[in-house]
């Protein structure tokens, strides 16, 4: 996308340290990682998932959307 490297992964790919997001950041030079997910929505899990995405973004030095 223009001069921005974008990585894309699906659902649980982003749940754990390492794995696809880490590889996309390290080897693909991704600056933004887009995670598509169709997990069932549950209000009680919103804060946990937001925190997990913040951690993944920080760990991999990327923007997670």
Q: Give the predicted TM-score (pTM) of the model.
A: 0.83
- Phi first, then psi: what are they for 41, rounded to 5°? -75, 135
Considering only the C-alpha atoms of the chain, give the largest distance between any 2 of them, rounded to a whole number of Å. Answer: 38
The answer, yes or no, to whether residue 54 has pLDDT greater than 90, is yes
Q: Is residue 36 in a domain?
A: yes
**Average pLDDT score, the chain:** 91
Three-class secondary structure of residue 34 per DSSP:
strand
Between the alpha carbon of residue 12 and those of residues 4, 23, 50, 55, the distances in Å are 24, 15, 14, 15
Confirm if 30 and 3 have CB atoms less than 8 A apart. Answer: no
Q: Is residue 46 in a domain?
A: yes
Q: Is residue 1 in a domain?
A: no
The pLDDT assigned to 13 comes to 92
The answer, yes or no, to whether residue 20 has pLDDT greater than 80, is yes
Containing structural domain, residue 46: 6-64
* Total number of domains constituting the chain: 1
Residues of the chain with pLDDT > 70: what percent?
98
Q: Is residue 37 in a domain?
A: yes
Confidence of residue 39 (pLDDT cuts 50, 70, 90): confident
């Amino acid at each position: 996308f223009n001069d921005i490297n974008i990585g894309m992964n699906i659902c649980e790919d982003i749940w754990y340290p390492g794995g696809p997001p880490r590889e996309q950041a390290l080897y693909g030079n991704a600056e933004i990682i887009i995670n598509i997910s169709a997990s069932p929505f549950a209000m009680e899990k919103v804060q946990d998932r937001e925190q997990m995405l913040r951690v993944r973004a920080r760990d991999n030095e990327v923007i997670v959307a």
